[in-house]
Amino acid sequence: MSSADYLLHRLKELNEIGIALSQQRDIGSLLELILEAAKRITNADAGTLYLLEPDAQVLRFEILRNDSLNIAMGGTSGVPITFYPIHLHDENGQPNHAMVVSHAALSGETVNIPDAYMAEGYDFSGTKKFDAKTGYRSQSFLTVPMRNHEDEVIGVLQLINAQSRNSGTIVPFSGDDKQLLESLASQAAIALTNRRLIEQLEELFEAFIQLINTAIDDKSPYTGGHCARVPELTMMLAEAVNRTKHGALADFVMSDKDRRELKIAGLLHDCGKITTPVHVVDKATKLQTLFDRVHMVDTRFEVIKRDAEIAMLKNEIDQAAYQQRLTQLDADREFLRRCNVGSEKMADADIERVQAIAAYRWRDVSGDESSFLSANEVENLTIRAGTLTAAEREIINHHIVVTIKMLESLPWPKHLKNVAEYAGGHHERMDGKGYPRGLTRDEMSVQARVMGIADIFEALTAKDRPYKEGKTLTESLTILGKFKEGGHIDPDLFDVFIREKVYLDYAQRFLAKEQIDEVDLSKIPGYIAR
């Protein structure tokens, strides 16, 4: 091969390396690729890649390779580099030009040394100690600073012992080696900087997500816990589906990009709650607004009891009637207190009793006679399930509309284009009776359906809600099974959730010990062991 053809071959190889560098996403693998490529195009026996730590002003060993000694440290080798970093300045703050790599970093100049043992002006004592210990002979050195797009040195490439491609003997690095390595160092620095910038942008984006969740958490610690746990459970179930090799979900496969997209969606699935009034989110009892109004009702009972006492003292009623009235009022007060606590289902008879109590008459501080309970108090105390009125539930439900609106307004990159769909579908039902869009199972992605189950199971088991205690595994899975039978959740995902024991893995991480009971799967509605 002529020298011109050989140079053309090396340029082509350099171009191929540049393409490979631009495609590598992992920084550790990228650094290793840079050093291995540098050794290959210069036919060097050994080399080290250093990265600059600007704040500490040191060069840190990142990758070290020596083919003759069969040494591989850093990178994918799994062997940590134990050498101390190289300082760019001494104890007095003076620049350290004695070391070749620090000089290259400080000056921004390439250093080409034919023989370290003959070189003057540099300190190679460490190199000579290494040689004496290993029997190696470090001879030719080529040290090149790595500059980014802003012409800042971000690292140094140092190659040792160029080998003749014909005889294999150690020779000095040539001028062509120097030019090729400088070109590679430039490409490598840009590739590394781009990868770092991408990672920094991703970290910044996730920090913004956490900022939103922190704002929600600051409004309500109950919602904040939910925002943290649902993404975890979502990923646990998704990974279980990814492992499934049979059934309707056998073809579901996630790449690392898919995982990140689903994780982001999980973190943002309730971002719309940032607009939900806190007195609705945290409504622990039926009469709670900014405070629990049950105490106002207690005061009215005391007023009626005093009125009864006055009536007795005026001989308008006898002692027996008075005692009977007190007993009735105390019973009614305790009954309303029980009603004030949200329950699974309020009986019709209890609703009728609330309405009967509401018809009592009492005199307020102005002396005006009025109904014992206001229309709003009756509406709240007769809520059939939970603590929210229909209007308040609409306010809560509106958060998903806000979530979708917020997420669809963002200019998502291609690899995150499904975030809005995944996050916006967790309140839909398989039968089309969910909200806000009334989507059916076929109109939803597997990921959105996964998030729907995660959202429900977390809510059932959550032990930090102000209006209820966390349910046991058996109670939660029983309700979830009924949801499957009722067309609420995806039946295939429910089966994976049970079969792969995702519920148990989640419980061991997030539930209290008293919630983790022994589950008899044969009694869970809708589940058939396969």
Express each pLDDT in 265-318 by its tens digit: 999 998 888 888 877 877 878 888 878 888 998 988 898 898 888 888 888 888
Give dist(CA 294, CA 125) in Å, integer.
83
Judge whether residue 187 has pLDDT over 90.
Answer: no
Superfamily for the 220-280+391-523 domain: Hypothetical protein af1432 (1.10.3210.10)
pLDDT value at 1 more than 60: no
Residues of the chain with CATH 1.10.3210.10: 220-280+391-523
| pLDDT, tens digit (0-9, with 9 covering 90-100), for 421-440 | 999 999 999 999 998 999 99
pLDDT, one tens digit per residue, over 141-186 is 999 998 888 888 988 999 999 999 888 899 999 998 898 888 888 8
| Mean predicted confidence (pLDDT) in 11-40 | 71
Average pLDDT over residues 48-75: 91
**What is the 8-class DSSP label of residue 367?**
S
Q: List Cα–Cα distances, 468 to 220, 252, 344, 387, 426, in angstroms.
A: 15, 36, 10, 10, 22
Which pLDDT value is given to residue 364? 78
What's the whole-number average pLDDT of the chain?
Answer: 88
pLDDT value, residue 292: 83
Say what the alpha-carbon torsion angle 355, 357, 360, 366 is, to the nearest 10 degrees: -90
Residue ranges, CATH 3.30.450.40, the chain: 3-198
pLDDT confidence band for 333 (50 / 70 / 90): very high
Which tokens sit at 211? 């900022």
Cβ-proximal residues to 48 (8 Å cutoff; 6+ apart), any chain: 35, 61, 63, 64, 65, 101, 157, 158, 160
- Percentage of the chain lying above the pLDDT 90 cut: 55
Q: What is the pLDDT of residue 25?
A: 65
For the chain, percent of residues with pLDDT exceeding 70: 93
Mutual angle of helices 502-510 and 473-485, in 10-degree steps: 140
The matching CATH number, chosen from 1.10.150.80, 3.30.70.20, 3.30.70.1560, 3.30.450.40, for 3-198 is 3.30.450.40
pLDDT of residue 341: 86
Phi/psi-derived region of residue 377, left when phi > 0, alpha when psi is between -120 and 50, beta in every other case: alpha
CB 361 within 8 A of CB 372: yes
Note if the pTM is more than 0.75: no
The answer, yes or no, to whether residue 521 has pLDDT greater than 60, is yes
How many CA atoms lie within 13 Å of 281's alpha carbon, on the beta-carbon side? 22
Supply the pLDDT for residue 145. 94
